[in-house]
Structure 1
Amino acid sequence: MSKEERHDFILVKIKKERKLVMTDLAAELGVSEHTVRRDLKELSDAGLLRAIRGGATLRSNLPFDIYDRNNLDVMEKQAIAEKSITLLKDHQVVFFDGGTTTQAIASNIPDSLNLTVVTHSLPIANILANLQNISLIFAGGAFCKSSLTMQGQQTISTFEEIYADVSFIGVCSLDPYRGLTARTREETAIKRVLCKNSMNIVAATTSNKLDTLASFLTCRASDISYLITEKDPSDDILQPYAAQGITIL
């Protein structure tokens, strides 16, 4: 099998299985692990997958700009939002990370709920400002145009001063063995504080972000309290996350 044929085989397989093990690939392709390692590096360098120790995983390829993501997976995000609202109770303190899925959750909060919400997301602050029973704390800082959120030390300091009952974390990539990861240091720094200062960490995400990997670690999968997707909790793709002790909704 030529190198090009191996590369095609690897790309088809990873799109189907989402992650690959080097030893299994070597056996299937009938080549050495050294050859597979070189193939994975070339494909990783080309941005087609992410080479990791012992194999490869899908690279998160969702649009970076929030304007591009607003119209993606609308029905799935609504289903996630409806599940997420069941975690909210009167008089809770709730952190809202930025993102289109967390925006969908905020849009579904009933006006009857009495909550204190802390967020650095302009769209979420705008949504919640219209709810009479929401006490809103906005974490200001340096404005990031691509995410419509605030970033930097001022933002972090606001979150550091508060402890939350629930934290809804925007998900870039999530893997059961490598944890919750994000694309930039700036957003990761904020996500880490939200996780550290929350009793319950909620990863609310469409399933296309599962079993993918980004560059910067936010938290381990075992740190997450709830994983909420559009899928039924019994779906096979969710079982490795349940095995990490995460409650699946």
Structure 2
Amino acid sequence: MQRTREEAINGLLPDQREALILERLRTHGRVLAAELAAELQTSEHTVRRHLRDLADQGHCKRVYGGALLMSPADKPAAVRMHEAVDRKARLAAAAVSIVRPKQIVLLDAGSTNVAIAAALPENAGLTVVTNSPEACARLLNRPGLDVILVGGRIASGAAGSLGATALLQIQQIRADLCFLGACAFDPDEGVAAFDAEDAELKRAMVKASGQLAIALTSEKLMTAGRFAVAPVSAVDYLFVEADVPGARVASLRAVCDNVMVARP
């Protein structure tokens, strides 16, 4: 049986080999060129060429020693708002457990953070600052919530305001807690975004906040984005879904102090 498998691997055409590498990326998130070369019985040079081609096609980002899957979250906000609604609600229920009365909460745009807005406790004297019109709509007319909507330009397909106006307003805030939207998250590469302006605003949110929390759907874990936002060491609380394997949760806890798993 082993010999048959080896013969099959030796007989792979370049396109088949590249498809297998892409499958490994989608399964594991991160791949190493040396390990792939050994598995496919080819040279690391050949594997790196395949990884370069996959990166050119937008499937992955080249990192030291291998590649990281690009996050699948690069979709219009209107699409993301209707995806995995129940999963995001469970993440939100876990995330709001760290909110304390009378805090200033900075709530970034994003569909999971809209779910957090809906789950925030009432009559707790919270001031919620957000650049998300969708989140603002979930907060209005609820008792004990003071809401501040950050202004600015809302780009086509974006979930919230961006640009110089939004950036200036965020820089003037001193929040107790920030729920940051993350397009991609990897223990080594950190938090990333797809848009340069969005990444700049997110970095300002990190600087403006005493504590940083991220609630993350599973498909964004072990993936890359185009623009760096923050290292994992900046994240005080990470909320993940119940389907994340135990070994992966352990690897996250090795770099983040508080990793909390939402209820299934």
1:156-180, Cα deviation, whole Å (9 max, x unpaired): 1111111111100111000000000
1:185-238, Cα deviation, whole Å (9 max, x unpaired): 111011001111111111111111000001100000111011112227873222
Would you say how many aligned residue pairs link Structure 1 and Structure 2?
249
Q: Give 2:99's aligned residue.
A: 88
Amino acid at match of 1:11: L
Q: Give 2:23's aligned residue.
A: 12
Q: Distance in 1 between matches of 2:193 and 2:257?
A: 19
Deviation of 1:25 after TM superposition, in Å, equals 1.0
Amino acid at match of 2:195: T
What is the Cα-based RMSD across aligned positions, in Å? Answer: 1.5
Aligned pairs for 1:120-131 within 5 A? 120-131=131-142
Give the TM-score normalised by structure 1.
0.95
Q: Give 2:9's aligned residue.
A: none
Q: Give 2:48's aligned residue.
A: 37
Aligned pairs for 1:29-178 within 5 A? 29-178=40-189
Which stretch of the first structure deviates more once superposed, 227-236 or 113-122? 227-236
Aligned pairs for 1:211-222 within 5 A? 211-222=222-233
Q: Distance in 2 between matches of 1:227 and 1:166?
A: 13
| Largest Rg, 1 or 2 | 2
Which stretch of the first structure deviates more once superposed, 4-13 or 165-174? 4-13
Amino acid at match of 2:154: F
Which stretch of the first structure deviates more once superposed, 175-184 or 23-32? 23-32
Give the 3-state SS of the residue equivalent to 1:199 in structure 2.
Answer: strand
Aligned pairs for 1:171-186 within 5 A? 171-186=182-197
Q: Give 1:238's aligned residue.
A: 249
1:39-84, Cα deviation, whole Å (9 max, x unpaired): 1111211223332221111111235211101121111101101101
Give the 3-state SS of the residue equivalent to 1:165 in structure 2.
Answer: strand
| Structure 2: stretches of 5+ with no match in the other structure | 1-11
Q: Distance in 2 between matches of 1:151 and 1:185?
A: 10
Conserved? CA contact 1:204–1:229, under 8 Å: yes
Conserved? CA contact 2:105–2:127, under 8 Å: yes
Q: Distance in 1 between matches of 2:80 and 2:34?
A: 36
Q: Distance in 1 between matches of 2:193 and 2:74?
A: 13
